[in-house]
Amino acid sequence: MNLTLHGYWRSGAAWRVRIALGLKGLDYTAVPHDLRIGAQASPAYLALAPQGLVPALEADGAVLTQSLAIMEWLEPLLPTDALARAHVRAMAGAIACDIHPLNNLRVLQSLRHDLGADKAQIAAWEARWITTGFAALEASVARHGGRFAFGDTPTLADCCLIPQIGSARRFGVDLAAFPRLVAVDAHCATLNPFRAAAPAAQSDAD
Amino acid sequence: MNLTLHGYWRSGAAWRVRIALGLKGLDYTAVPHDLRIGAQASPAYLALAPQGLVPALEADGAVLTQSLAIMEWLEPLLPTDALARAHVRAMAGAIACDIHPLNNLRVLQSLRHDLGADKAQIAAWEARWITTGFAALEASVARHGGRFAFGDTPTLADCCLIPQIGSARRFGVDLAAFPRLVAVDAHCATLNPFRAAAPAAQSDAD
């Protein structure tokens, strides 16, 4: 299958899909869109992905959007037991719905431009949602985790967790209260699919 | 199966799950938590759902959280074709990840208390994310929709869309630019599972 991933090196949502593609062993062509200059709002990209967000995955002519939907479509990375699947999807949702959307670039830009938030207020905002969400995730990993966020096999939860930890570090959030999350991150950092998906490994990284 | 849904009449995420349970024809006991007084942060509820968010679904002793994970676990409401499933999940994600989290109560409270946003700024914030997201959804429904957001059968996308339209109306957002979304909402409003799930029909509505 011919796969093209539209992304951006720093996009946490695109990073998730890069991990999932790597874990599936799927090759793809990366097309970067520089979010800092609004490249995702170009007419050509909007024709492909009307929401104007990355990632989008072209697969043999079809266009898939939304990182969770793309990763579900790849059909990887979920346990077989229904209840276990629900727990993994809940971990993924706790990040993809309750942390990441509050801290992505367009929202931080709105805080700054529309509400006049200063640097300290934005840093506090970023940290608030990350630490609130990570506290609950730490409890989930204590209950369900192993070498990975859920058990000893990588899942959707790790695809979401690793980029969110990367984002937390970039924002300077103290992770001392989340030793289990940090341990999962450290383990994943030893594995090729996670290493290849990291922002600094992308062709558009600066 | 013995089902207990922890929710709140105005919670859009709990509303989604009420619709899904109704579409599946599943009976459940509703346990309301008044988010306005922080009831979801009680020790008893946190022991059940460490994230301290509604909804949570108790199912024969297991506790499920995150509305998307709960609805997936119910196994309803998705087409059988893999690409169609991806489109439905993308619509659900465009709401559950990119609109709703920015406008829920805890975030609006933070805008007010931590950033000093006034009423007009909060209204503009609410409208911004709804109209941005709805513009893309209107395009998706134009492409994929029928009587429902995707085709002529209710899906996860409708479970997410109807509460988001309800929220948009409550916030006073002009929906004139989204005739297809409004038409889907009008159709759903004729159907019992959607009517029974509406906020005003809940025992804790005031």
Strand partners, B174: none
Looking at residue B149, what is its pLDDT? 98
- CA angle at A150 for the pair A129 and A67, rounded to the nearest 5°: 55
Whole-number percent of chain B with pLDDT over 90: 92
pLDDT > 90? residue B1: no
Looking at residue A79, what is its pLDDT? 95
Q: Is A85 on the interface with B (CB under 8 A)?
A: yes
A-proximal residues of B, 24-83, CB under 8 Å: 50-53, 62, 64-70, 72-73, 75, 82-83
Question: Measuring CA to CA, how many Å separate B149 from each of A49, B90, B141, B160, B182?
Answer: 17, 12, 5, 10, 10
Pairwise CA distance, residues A84 & B20, whole Å: 20
Looking at residue A76, what is its pLDDT? 73
pLDDT > 90? residue B111: yes
pLDDT > 80? residue A148: yes
- Nearest-neighbour CA in chain B from A136: distance (Å): 5
Looking at residue B123, what is its pLDDT? 96
User: Position B120: which residue type?
Assistant: A
pLDDT > 80? residue A109: yes
Element (H, E) at B3: strand B3-7
pLDDT digits (tens, 9 = 90+) for A183-205: 999 999 999 999 999 999 999 99
Quick one: tokens of A78?
Answer: 């979920």
Does the beta-carbon distance from A66 to B124 stay under 8 Å? no
Q: What share of chain B is helix, strand, coil (3-state, %, to 5)?
A: 60, 10, 35
pLDDT digits (tens, 9 = 90+) for B155-188: 999 999 999 999 999 999 999 999 999 999 999 9
pLDDT digits (tens, 9 = 90+) for A44-100: 999 999 889 999 999 998 999 999 999 999 987 999 999 999 999 999 999 999 999
What letters, b where the CB count within 10 A reaches 16 and e where it falls short, cover B42-67?
Answer: eeebeebbbbbbbbbbbbeeebbbbb
Strand partners, B151: B145
ipTM of the complex: 0.95
Q: What is the mean pLDDT of chain A?
A: 96
Average pLDDT over residues B59-78: 94
Residue B94 has its nearest CB partner, among A66, A87, A107, at A66
Looking at residue A75, what is its pLDDT? 83
Query: How distant is the alpha carbon of residue A136 from its chain centre?
Result: 18
Does the beta-carbon distance from B66 to A85 stay under 8 Å? no
Cα Rg, chain B, nearest whole Å: 17
Looking at residue A82, what is its pLDDT? 94
Looking at residue B150, what is its pLDDT? 98
pLDDT digits (tens, 9 = 90+) for B15-52: 999 999 999 999 999 999 999 898 888 999 999 998 89
Q: Are A116 and A122 in contact (CB under 8 A)?
A: no
Pairwise CA distance, residues B23 & B10, whole Å: 19
Quick one: tokens of A51?
Answer: 């929401």
| CA quadruple A94, A95, A96, A99: dihedral sign | positive
Short-list B79, B83, B144, B137, CA closest to A64: B83
What letters, b where the CB count within 10 A reaches 16 and e where it falls short, cover B12-22?
Answer: bbbbbbbbbbb
Q: Are B145 and B180 in contact (CB under 8 A)?
A: yes
Pairwise CA distance, residues B22 & B180, whole Å: 23
Q: Which residue do the tokens 């109209």 mark?
A: B131
pLDDT digits (tens, 9 = 90+) for A21-54: 999 999 999 999 999 898 888 999 999 998 899 9
Does the beta-carbon distance from B66 to A97 stay under 8 Å? yes
Query: What's B46-84 look like in SS3?
Result: HHHCCCCCCCEEEECCEEEECHHHHHHHCCCCCCCCHHH
Average pLDDT over residues B80-90: 96
Query: Strands B3-7 and B29-32, how do they pair?
Result: parallel
Does the beta-carbon distance from B73 to A65 stay under 8 Å? no
pLDDT > 90? residue B75: no
Looking at residue A138, what is its pLDDT? 97
Confidence of residue B72 (pLDDT cuts 50, 70, 90): very high
Q: Is the pTM of this model over 0.90?
A: yes
Length of chain B: 206
Looking at residue A158, what is its pLDDT? 98
pLDDT > 90? residue B76: no
Looking at residue A162, what is its pLDDT? 98
Does the beta-carbon distance from B66 to A90 stay under 8 Å? yes
Q: What is the mean pLDDT of chain B?
A: 96
Looking at residue B156, what is its pLDDT? 97
Q: Is B135 on the interface with A (CB under 8 A)?
A: yes
Whole-number percent of chain B with pLDDT over 70: 100
